[in-house]
Amino acid sequence: MRSLIRRAAVAAGATTLVLGASAGAAAASAGAPTSHLYWANNQAGTIVEANLNGTSAHIIASSQHGPQGVAVGASHLYWANEAAGTIVEANLDGTSAHVIASGQAQPLGVAVNASHLYWANFNAGTIVEANLDGTGAHVIASSLFPAGVAVGASHLYWASQSTVTTPGTIVEANLDGTGAKTIASGKGSPHGVAVDASHLYWANQITSPVGTINEANLDGTGAKVIASRQNGPSGVAVGP
């Protein structure tokens, strides 16, 4: 079971990077509370809440169907249920969990800002935008095997996994999905992406001989490994 969560300082006194081999650590939107850490346990079908140092971890939602990726808004949690093809909304304590979007094609990541929700449909090769209540869902971009999405102040970012003939990439687009372009390529099998005011971060599940966590400038330049010897990392988030 993928359940390892690690916490690493990105820069002294600056931000904190949360990385793990569970199914996606929570990505917080601007203005969201930052007193807790959330993650999804894909195989156990649970959403877990803990203090920022990982203590007092406890299940706040169960009986989920392959949860994959968690996002934190100002007043709600959101996650993707990979096996059920649904997007779920809940209160920050996990109560009142309910499906707000269904019929999705293996959603593998979710992100939120003040006005919209975004997720990646792996099988359909699409990036979807919706209102915070799940209404108005529509495809805004197409990409090969997207696995994780992040939203910054002015751009969306997502990871596109590798195939036998195509290397993994990190893609940037406008918030409406237009202008999509590859900003980093040859990245193994990226799975999960996060963004702060100055950098991108992503997890590479397959980078011989072991998985890595990577950092780059917002335009994709200066990409480098900042954590190695990870075991199938699939989620990354960054916060204060």
Domains of the chain: which residue ranges? 5-228
- What are the b/e assignments for 152-187, b being 16+ CB within 10 Å? beebbbbbbbbeeeeebbbbbbebebeebeebbeeb
For the stretch 25-60, pLDDT in tens is: 565 565 565 678 888 888 899 999 988 778 899 999
Q: In the CATH hierarchy, which top-level class contains the domain 5-228?
A: mainly beta
Question: What is this structure's pTM?
Answer: 0.86
pLDDT value at position 121? 96
Comparing 3 with 155, which gets the higher pLDDT? 155
Say how far apart CA 123 and CA 145 lie, in whole Å: 6
Other C-beta atoms lying within 10 Å of the C-beta of residue 83 = 14
Say how far apart CA 110 and CA 72 lie, in whole Å: 10
Residue located via tokens 């990385």: 19
Confidence of residue 204 (pLDDT cuts 50, 70, 90): confident
Say how far apart CA 145 and CA 114 lie, in whole Å: 26
Q: Two tokens at 51?
A: 């203090």
Q: Are 119 and 149 in contact (CB under 8 A)?
A: yes
Side-chain-facing half-sphere of 102: CA atoms under 13 Å: 4
- Kindly tell me if the per-residue pLDDT of 170 is higher than 90: yes
For the stretch 217-236, pLDDT in tens is: 999 999 998 888 887 777 77
For the stretch 176-190, pLDDT in tens is: 999 999 999 877 788
Residue located via tokens 């989620």: 235
Q: Two tokens at 173?
A: 């687009």
